[in-house]
């Protein structure tokens, strides 16, 4: 599995972001492969300097979908917000009212609100936002579409799981791609006084694969799978086919 996860084209290296990754090169159940140079998943872009931005533009990024809350944008504006080179779209994954409801819901572990019911609540309660994000990705112009939150793990991880799940990438590989964040975000966390000393520590604390497995199981049991979930939230058949065409090598 690591030959897919750690493919040399997977990680896009820039100085002021850690977790920019192409979701191409993953095998599907029917023998296909996801396309390189179509979708990038990323952590926050607010600290990028001009050279970093140029790396992404040279890679072909023409659409940026910012999944963060409005208050996150205020504290850390997106460097592409006023760019003439890309189509910048702010589509918060979580509505403020939904966030308040989620924060009040009992969970066993509030580490990034991810354990127990965390992601499953997001999938259930944030459906209008999920629809808008997926439609935006389906309707983007030619070029690479980059979507991101702050750490490139939770909100970005769920959108990635939906995209990869739609085209039949295995659940194990989707969960491993989610956990791969640990290998890159550890660079932003590693401090002498921290209990996080390795990417394995980061994965165990913040992105264990079983959390994504729980979310994928929820999608199967409650909605009948990823495509059925997309249809339930309002993504049209035409838009689903557009996503497939972007994701798969024809």
Q: Where are the domains of the chain?
A: 2-247
Q: What percent of the chain has pLDDT over 90?
A: 82
Distance CA(191)–CA(165), nearest Å, equals: 35
pLDDT-derived band at 191 (thresholds 50, 70, 90) equals low
Residue 104 has pLDDT above 80, yes or no: no
Distance CA(24)–CA(9), nearest Å, equals: 9
**Spacing of C-alpha 131 from chain mean position:** 14
Contacts of 222 (CB under 8 A, 6+ apart): 124
Q: For residue 169, what are its two tokens?
A: 């990438």
Distance CA(73)–CA(88), nearest Å, equals: 13
Q: How high is the pLDDT of residue 115?
A: 45
- Arithmetic mean of pLDDT, 95-104: 76
More confident residue, 23 or 99: 23
Q: Which residues pair with 147 in a beta bridge?
A: 41, 65
Residue 111 has pLDDT above 90, yes or no: no
Q: How high is the pLDDT of residue 194?
A: 72
In this prediction the pTM is 0.93
Among 95-109, 121-135, 193-207, top mean pLDDT goes to 121-135
**For strand 87-90 and strand 61-66, is the pairing parallel, antiparallel, or unpaired?**
parallel
Residue 22 burial class via C-beta count within 10 angstroms: exposed 0-12, middle 13-18, buried 19 and up? buried
Give the number of other CB atoms < 10 A from CB of residue 71. 11
Q: How high is the pLDDT of residue 110?
A: 47
Q: How high is the pLDDT of residue 97?
A: 80
Helix axes 127-138, 155-166, angle to 10 degrees: 60
Residue 158 has pLDDT above 60, yes or no: yes
Q: For residue 174, what are its two tokens?
A: 């989707």
Distance CA(147)–CA(195), nearest Å, equals: 30
Distance CA(183)–CA(178), nearest Å, equals: 11
Domain 2-247, CATH among 3.90.190.10, 3.40.50.12500, 3.40.50.300, 3.40.80.10: 3.90.190.10
Among 23-27, 122-126, 201-205, top mean pLDDT goes to 23-27
- Arithmetic mean of pLDDT, 167-194: 88
Provide the sign of the torsion angle of the four alpha carbons 224, 229, 230, 231, taken in this order. positive
Question: Using only C-alpha atoms, what is the Rg of the chain?
Answer: 17
Least confident of 102-111, 189-198, 221-230: 102-111
């Amino acid at each position: 599995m690591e030959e897919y996860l750690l493919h040399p084209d997977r990680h896009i290296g820039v100085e002021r972001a850690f977790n920019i990754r192409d979701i191409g090169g993953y095998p599907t159940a029917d023998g296909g492969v996801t396309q390189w140079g179509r979708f990038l998943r990323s952590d926050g872009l607010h600290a990028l300097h001009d050279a970093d931005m140029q790396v992404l533009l040279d890679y072909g990024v023409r659409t940026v979908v910012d999944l963060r809350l409005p208050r996150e944008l205020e504290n850390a504006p997106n460097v592409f917000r006023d760019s003439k080179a890309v189509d910048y779209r702010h589509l918060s994954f979580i509505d403020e009212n939904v966030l308040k409801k989620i924060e009040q819901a009992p969970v066993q572990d509030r580490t990034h609100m991810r354990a127990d019911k965390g992601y499953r609540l997001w999938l259930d309660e944030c459906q209008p936002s999920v629809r808008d994000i997926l439609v935006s990705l389906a309707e983007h112009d030619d070029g690479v579409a980059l979507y991101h939150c702050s750490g490139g793990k939770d909100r970005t991880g769920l959108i990635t799981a939906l995209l990869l799940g739609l085209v039949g990438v295995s659940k194990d590989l989707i969960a491993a791609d989610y956990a791969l964040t640990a290998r890159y975000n550890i660079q932003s966390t590693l401090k002498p006084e921290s209990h996080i000393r390795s990417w394995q520590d980061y994965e165990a604390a913040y992105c264990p694969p079983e959390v994504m497995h729980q979310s994928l199981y929820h999608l199967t049991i409650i909605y009948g799978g990823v495509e059925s979930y997309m249809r339930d939230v309002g993504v049209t058949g035409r838009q689903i086919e557009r996503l497939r065409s972007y994701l798969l090598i024809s």
